[in-house]
Structure 1
Amino acid sequence: MARQLDEQIAGRFPVGQRLRVLDVGMGQGTQALRLARAGHKVTGVEQDPAMIAAARAALADEPEGIQGRVRIVEGDGHQTGVHFLPGSFDVVLCHGVLMYVDEPEALLAGLARMLAPGGLLSLLVRNAEALAMRPGLAGDWAGALASFDSVTYRNRLGIDARADRLDRLTSALAGIAAPLQVWYGVRVFTDTVADGSALPPEWEFEALLAAEERAGRTDPYRRVAALLHLCGVRD
């Protein structure tokens, strides 16, 4: 997914431009730090104290110049209008957040207002059209059958969450003046790999990444990906 995001940034902004990035639901700060190392100014919003502590610890290990490019705000993604003025950011990330929001349209509208004209909105969501894949590949036939007509699931943390359909999000993005420009599949072949599994040898890992990258851009494979990465642009 990082490659896809970098591709969209490179294709939409002048080379060398220092972007203003808002990372909503920044977690432990992986994306925020990566973008700060690339020279961008990143504001991360997070409400989980444990994640904030982890992000601050990771930031403390970075050089002073990178630390100065990252700001962490404790809060909820629905509160962006409280903390920031409309049009304050060139890029807004909302990765792994919508699955915990019952009605995503209001959150998305608030995020779109944060974007400057031409700004990029990057979403990472659970793919509702592929919820039967994980239980089916694991041989859980009852679970697979129950997933076909559902938009809810229990994630690997044991938390009940919600998935999104591509057509609904396409309509939602059009309605908030940030129409969908491109979308990718994420975790097409690797969704069933157990958390914490050892990485394969380097040559095999590179081949795995190349296969995932190709599948994530190619129909019909991307349509059965566990996650969808959608990019909208503020018009």
Structure 2
Amino acid sequence: MPPTAPAPSSGEQLPVRTAAVWAALDPVVGAGTQLRVLDVGGGSGVFAVPLARLGHEVTVVDPSADALATLQRRAQTAGVGDHVRGLQGDGDLLHELPLGSGQPGTDDSGGYDLALCHSVLEVVDDPSATLDEITRALRPGGQVSVATANRAGAVLARALGGHPKEALALLEDRDPAPGRTRPARRRFGPDDLLALVTAAGLRPGEWRGVAVVSDLLDAASGADPEAVRRLELALAGTSPYRDVATGLHVLATRP
């Protein structure tokens, strides 16, 4: 299927803070081959709709019915409603969902070519179980894009925001707000993330920092978005800058 409409790449009309993620995905999703994509926790379609506009078939799994309704509205508005499917469910229970496309004449036996797991491992009950489920949903040679919150970035953000006690708690891997009613979001270091990915039977590529500087800039700063984008891409794979990014990203392959 050709793209329904011109689709943006990582350098065009996409949020600056996710530039590093799109830059890693571009060689995979922009190669001209239609992919079956599984977006776990993809919610309202921030990644799913642009991927569908590139010509890919995308299944989004999310526990929120409201988010999935927004996904369908967004996909219809973009002209790709027939190529985005929403399933309500949890990432650690993918085996219970009808992940096959259900389209007549479609061979679903090969699994998904690409899976997205963005901002999911922070909130699921068991990150390892979720990654195991995603790995099983991939075909051999398929890839998964994993993005998580970075502990070092959270520490820096709390400190710069004038909350040194919370920053110290995060540094020591403690809950910065222990009286909360909901569980604290997990934060990961690069070693934590790579260990999880490897334990799931995946072969990780090089990790990147996500939103190294964009989240530190005041919206009223007047900084040129394209200049910030170029800076983000330059810093994403460069230490020590990537070490204090808001998020971490790795593209991993199922052998």
TMscore range, shorter length:
0.7 to 0.9
Does residue 177 (structure 1) correspond to residue 201 (structure 2)? The answer is yes
1:232 is matched with 252
Change (3 A) 1:95 1:16: same
> For structure 1, which runs of at least 5 residues remain unmatched after alignment?
none
Instruction: Please state how far the C-alpha of 1:150 moved relative to its aligned partner.
Output: 1.4
Identity of aligned residues (%): 31
For 2:143 and 2:176, how far apart are their aligned partners in 1?
A: 29
> For residue 94 of structure 1, what is the amino acid of its counterpart?
C
Identify the residue that residue 51 of structure 2 maps to in structure 1: 35
Q: Find the partner of 1:67 among 72, 81, 90.
A: 81
Q: What's 1:100 paired with?
A: 123
Aligned residue number for residue 32 of structure 2: 16
1:131-152 Cα offsets, whole Å, 9 max, x none, are: 3101111232222222210164
Q: 1:199 to 1:109 in 2, by over 3 A?
A: farther
Is the contact between residue 19 and residue 232 of structure 2 (CA under 8 Å) also seen in structure 1? no
Aligned length in residues: 226
| CA displacement, residues 190-230 of structure 1 (integer Å, 9 cap, x when unaligned) | 22457xx46847xx111111112211111110011111011
Match of 1:191 among 215, 231, 237: 215
Question: Deviations for 1:67-124, whole angstroms, at most 9, x for unmatched residues?
Answer: 2111111111122112236751000001111110243111101101111111111111
Q: Secondary structure at the match of 2:215?
A: coil
**Counterpart amino acid of 1:76?**
D
What is the DSSP-based 3-state SS (H/G/I as helix, E as strand, rest coil) of the residue aligned with 1:161?
A: coil
- Kindly indicate which of the two structures has a greater share of residues assigned to strand: 1
1:161-205 CA deviation, whole Å, 9 max, x = no partner?
A: 1112221221222222212112110111122457xx46847xx11
- Structure 1 residues 141 and 41, CA, compared in 2 at 3 Å: closer, same or farther? same
Cα displacement (A) at 1:2: 5.2
Structure 1 range deviating more: 210-219 or 185-194: 185-194
Q: Is the 8 A contact 1:199 1:205 kept in 2?
A: no
Contact 1:24 1:94 (C-alpha < 8 Å) held by counterparts: yes
Query: Are the equivalent residues in 1 in contact too, given 2:20–2:209 (CA < 8 A)?
Result: no
What amino acid maps onto 1:171 in structure 2? A
